[in-house]
Structure 1
Amino acid sequence: MRAAFAACGFVFFGNKSKRAKKAFCVKSGKNIKQNGEMASMSEKTIISIGGGELRERTTLKIDEYIANLAKLRAGEKRANALFIPTASHDFMPYYNTFHKVYTGVFDIKTDVALCAYREIDPVKMKEKFDKADMIYVGGGDTVYMMQRWKETGLLPLIADAYERGVILCGLSAGAICWFSDIYTDSAASGNGDKYSMYSGLGWIKGKISPHYGARMVDFDKILCYNNYCAYGLEDDSAIVIRNGSVAGALTSGGTAWKIVSENGALKKTAVTLLK
């Protein structure tokens, strides 16, 4: 499959990925096996979901993978998930939906970390983070979210959890904030609905776009004449990042693309699904 516009060439590799098989997991000493992939319990893990509807459960296969990973980290105790809805300005119906999925479907205990309209209580908030086996960051305004994390002191708590091996995951804003450069819109920046490149937290090197199916043309134009490595995540797709490197992809129907720009040409490869 090939496509081109202006002077920029595009080369695509790989067909649309088939729906991922049901996740399975077994415990083995200090390691875990998730979808056939071995991972240390102390590994730093980020799972970035390109988009989808949690309420309509379009990402359920990906959520199942995350839930299984959290349960393995928890061991004999019930797994705990901490939901961070800062990007949606602490929209509580979003948390209620998360609770219905992760508690109702996967039997994981959930809590929420609120900081959009209040200062945090450092002691109580630290207790929430200390209990968490996984942290799920919801979608919304990415730039506002990162600013608010820095203003309230939530960011150091997230960073500490990541270093301790707590699983970080998120959708849209919660998927891209970890990267060096992110393609998003932001009311907080004054650009309204206009999509632009912004600086992310920089924990993961590279550029990234969520909702890639809808943003492909514009994001590809940005990459075209620069020698970049980037990721385009379609809705209902995800990448699993271990210790700073992409280990593979997950799907609930969408495809995660690795995009390499060289001398005006883009090479796109579907990220290999974790088996």
Structure 2
Amino acid sequence: MAVVPPQRLALLGGGFSTDDDGLLDDWVLARARSSRPKVCFVPTASGDAPAYIEQFRTAFGDRPACEPSVLHLFRRELDDDALRSFLLAQDVVYVGGGNTANLLAVWRTHGVDRLLREAYDHGTLLCGISAGANCWAEGSHTDSFGPLRCLPDGLGLLPGSVCPHYDSEPGRRPSYRAAVAAGRLPSGWAVEDGAGVLFTDGVPTEAVTRARGAAVYRVEPVGGGGVSERALPCRLLGPSPQARRT
């Protein structure tokens, strides 16, 4: 019988675009299925912003233990067969921040949503920050339309909803709590900046933080129109080999 690989994804409250210690990125790489993982950065949510891509290339090009690449969709070069082969060959797909709604629309236009589901089923570790965390769930809390609002849309690989920047952007926490309490978003996961959480087959199996006090919360409705907010135990990450090399 063929062994079915676990389905794994990680929500990140930081990484190469916001932190200079490399802790969360090293944590992600250490959980890949390969000792020298192929890591594809997907910057769709930023419109394939050149400066963002350069940040990724600088951060991951200095890591000898991975093979970095970038998926461009705004100037796409791969045909459908080549795109599928490319994505299914990746050990890690790392999705950047930006506009969640635009990200989902572009992915669906190019069939990337379907290919990422297939990669997920075959053991590729999916991860991302901000919009790159929102996209995996059934719904999310986003500023894709300007003011904060609910987006009851996503790939649905992770049951429930996601809220990034839970502690760092004004209005995030009360607005997300109100949305879950009112049923505008399903129960979900709120990620503070500096924290990360790994899900295996839809269940949280590890939560970490690069900064003391940063956490990941399970947010659920309770009777009377309120919410329950429960912090997951987080392990504090140690010094990064990447940070020691710089």
TM-score with structure 1 setting the length: 0.75
Residue 212 (structure 1) aligned to one of 162, 166, 173: 166
Q: Which residue of 1 aligns with 2:56?
A: 98
In structure 2, do the counterparts of structure 1 residues 46 and 153 end up closer, same or farther at CA, with 3 Å as the change threshold?
same
Residue 207 (structure 2) aligned to one of 249, 266, 272: 249
Write the deviation string for residues 90-126 of structure 1: whole angstroms up to 9, x where unpaired: 1122122122222314531111111134474123323
Q: Which has the larger radius of gyration?
A: 1
Write the deviation string for residues 61-115 of structure 1: whole angstroms up to 9, x where unpaired: 2211111122xx224xx32111111101111221221222223145311111111
* Aligned partners of 1:49 and 1:239 also within 8 Å: yes
SS at match of 1:217: helix
In structure 2, do the counterparts of structure 1 residues 196 and 118 end up closer, same or farther at CA, with 3 Å as the change threshold?
same
Amino acid at match of 2:227: L
Counterpart Cα distance in 1 of 2:88 and 2:159 = 27
Counterpart Cα distance in 2 of 1:209 and 1:112 = 25
* Aligned partners of 1:230 and 1:259 also within 8 Å: yes
Residue 62 (structure 1) aligned to one of 18, 21, 24: 24
SS at match of 1:206: strand
* Aligned partners of 2:12 and 2:196 also within 8 Å: yes
In structure 2, do the counterparts of structure 1 residues 107 and 95 end up closer, same or farther at CA, with 3 Å as the change threshold?
farther
More strand by share: 1
1:162-201 matched pairs, under 5 angstroms = 162-186=120-144, 191=145, 193-198=146-151, 199-201=153-155
RMSD value over aligned CA atoms? Answer: 2.3
- Length, aligned pairs only: 226
Residue 6 (structure 2) aligned to one of 8, 21, 43: 43
Percent of matched pairs sharing the same residue? 26
Counterpart Cα distance in 2 of 1:153 and 1:212 = 31
Moved more, 105-114 or 148-157: 105-114
* Aligned partners of 1:102 and 1:110 also within 8 Å: yes
Structure having greater relative contact order (Cα 8 Å, sep ≥ 6): 1
Residue 178 (structure 2) aligned to one of 221, 237, 241: 221
Counterpart Cα distance in 2 of 1:98 and 1:92 = 10
Q: Gaps spanning 5+ residues in structure 1: where? A: 1-39
Counterpart Cα distance in 2 of 1:129 and 1:83 = 11
SS at match of 2:199: strand
Residue 270 (structure 1) aligned to one of 231, 234, 237: 231
Offset at 1:41?
Answer: 8.6
Moved more, 118-127 or 140-149: 118-127
The yes-or-no answer on 1:132 pairing with 2:100 is no
Q: Which residue of 1 aligns with 2:65?
A: 107
Counterpart Cα distance in 1 of 2:4 and 2:27 = 15
Counterpart Cα distance in 1 of 2:57 and 2:218 = 32
Amino acid at match of 1:224: A
Counterpart Cα distance in 1 of 2:219 and 2:88 = 36
Amino acid at match of 1:86: T
Counterpart Cα distance in 2 of 1:221 and 1:121 = 44
Q: Gaps spanning 5+ residues in structure 2: where? A: 237-246
Offset at 1:59?
Answer: 6.8
